[in-house]
């Protein structure tokens, strides 16, 4: 009889182990599902921070005569005699850039999000990014736009517009746009 | 003897139930911890979207002689003779505001995030928020700052600084700051 008891005990233990395994497997599945769910949340956060922050309406696509790729310029302060200053925003999609151009009284660029390039004629490309403020001297040919992979949100301030606003030139070629031309 | 087997079987079942309960309790604790952890992540996301987007370094707290509450002005373009323009950023914590002041050649405010107030002397308070651009005419007393509950991130552009930059006046009282004074 003691053999029977021993057998029963062993059988119950096995059953229990089996039950335990089922519980363990269920636990593992639930925990995995929850970890995946948590990770999905984290991924969403990371994606959100990778998107550019928009402050102003995107506006209409800029003319192909002035921009290469998809650039969206929006005037914020139109020319007037009191402030003597023009302010606007441009959203450049990745790869988009302005033509070469110059400003009789210079220009100030304020980068509010993303990564882009700015180049003064004859100098290497500078990398510009969120928080940067760039001064472009009067009557100097330059271009600016997004990096190849990340877009650019930038404000521009054109001071002293009584001296003139902008003189447009030719498009920036793919070769000129190449980051191989960069100083960073 | 069969009674003993029965007793042993019952005891083992009880022990198993007890084990199962321990497993269930452990499972419940683990799942609760993971749910809390997931919720904490979500809370962080929600807090992040509620927090203001910072573009520039916060900088040092502005003088109590010029601001009420916690305001953090940062110069971005210092006065120079070429651009004839001053650009800067101010982060106002909720409730913070500038003193009354005026600009000989006016000022342009560009709100990059948050909610705040702007008031020209003798007119009702205007509510200003992310994406707004406000022109403040030359030689007109005004003040600007955050709303009582939400902070304000704002760029300022002072054009034509050859005419002067700013004339500071008295603090904005709590009564003047009151939103009851608003037009919205």
Interchain proximity A159–B84, CB inside 8 Å? yes
CB contact under 8 A, A41 and B37: no
Q: Is the pLDDT at B160 greater than 70, yes or no? A: yes
Q: Say whether residue A20 is in contact with chain B using an 8 A CB cutoff.
A: yes
Please indicate whether, in this complex, the C-beta atoms of B112 and A112 are within 8 angstroms of each other: yes
Mean predicted confidence (pLDDT) in A135-156:
97
A165 confidence band (pLDDT: 50, 70, 90): very high
The residue range of the domain holding A75 is 67-182
The predicted pLDDT at position B45 comes to: 35
Tell whether B159 is covered by a domain: yes
User: Does A88 reach chain B within 8 Å, measured CB to CB?
Assistant: no
- Residue A149, Cβ neighbours under 10 Å: how many? 9
Q: What is the pLDDT of residues B95-119, one digit of tens each?
A: 999 999 999 999 999 999 999 999 9
Same domain for B102 and B31 = no
Same domain assignment for residues A89 and A154: yes
pLDDT at B56: 96
Mean residue pLDDT of chain A comes to 84
Considering the domain architecture, whether residues B79 and B140 belong to the same structural domain is answered as: yes
Same domain for A96 and A39: no
Q: Which residue has the higher pLDDT, A53 or A168?
A: A168
Q: How confident is the model at residue A6 (pLDDT cuts 50, 70, 90)?
A: confident
Per residue in A62-106, pLDDT (tens digit) is 999 999 999 999 999 998 889 999 999 999 999 999 999 999 999
| Cβ(B142)–Cβ(B121) below 8 Å | yes
Q: Percent of chain B, pLDDT > 70?
A: 71
CA–CA distance, A76 with A165 (Å, rounded to integer)? 15
DSSP-derived 3-state class of residue B10: helix
Same domain, A85 and A160: yes
Q: Residue B4, exposed/middle/buried by CB under 10 A (0-12, 13-18, 19+)? A: exposed
Is A139 within 8 Å of chain B by CB? no
* Number of domains making up chain B: 2
Summarised one tens digit per residue, pLDDT across range A110-132 is 999 999 999 999 999 999 999 99
Residues B117-138 pLDDT 10s: 999 999 999 999 999 999 999 9
| Residue B118 and residue B88 in one domain | yes
Buried b or exposed e, range A30-52, using 16+ CB within 10 angstroms: eeeebeeebeebeeeeeeeeeeb
CB B121 within 8 A of CB B140: yes
Cβ of A159 within 8 Å of Cβ of B85? The answer is yes
Q: How many CA atoms lie within 13 A of B111 on its CB side?
A: 24
Q: The complex's ipTM?
A: 0.72
Q: Do B5 and B86 reside in the same domain of the chain?
A: no
């Amino acid at each position: 009889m003691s053999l029977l008891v021993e057998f029963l005990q062993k059988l119950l233990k096995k059953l229990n182990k089996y039950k335990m395994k089922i519980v363990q497997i269920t636990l593992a599945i639930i925990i995995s599902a929850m970890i995946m769910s948590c990770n999905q949340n984290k991924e969403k956060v990371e994606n959100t921070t990778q998107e550019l922050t928009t402050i102003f309406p995107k506006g209409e696509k800029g003319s192909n005569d002035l921009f290469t790729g998809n650039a969206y310029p929006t005037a914020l302060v139109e020319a007037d005699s009191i402030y003597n200053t023009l302010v606007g925003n441009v959203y450049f999609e990745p790869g988009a850039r302005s033509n070469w151009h110059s400003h009789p009284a210079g220009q100030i660029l304020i980068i509010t999000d993303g990564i882009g390039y700015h180049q003064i004629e004859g100098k290497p490309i500078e990398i510009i990014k969120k928080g940067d403020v760039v001064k472009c001297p009067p009557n100097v040919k330059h271009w600016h736009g997004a990096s190849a992979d990340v877009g650019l949100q930038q404000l521009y301030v054109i001071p002293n517009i009584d001296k003139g606003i902008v003189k447009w030139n030719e498009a920036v070629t793919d070769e000129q746009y190449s980051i191989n031309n960069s100083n960073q």
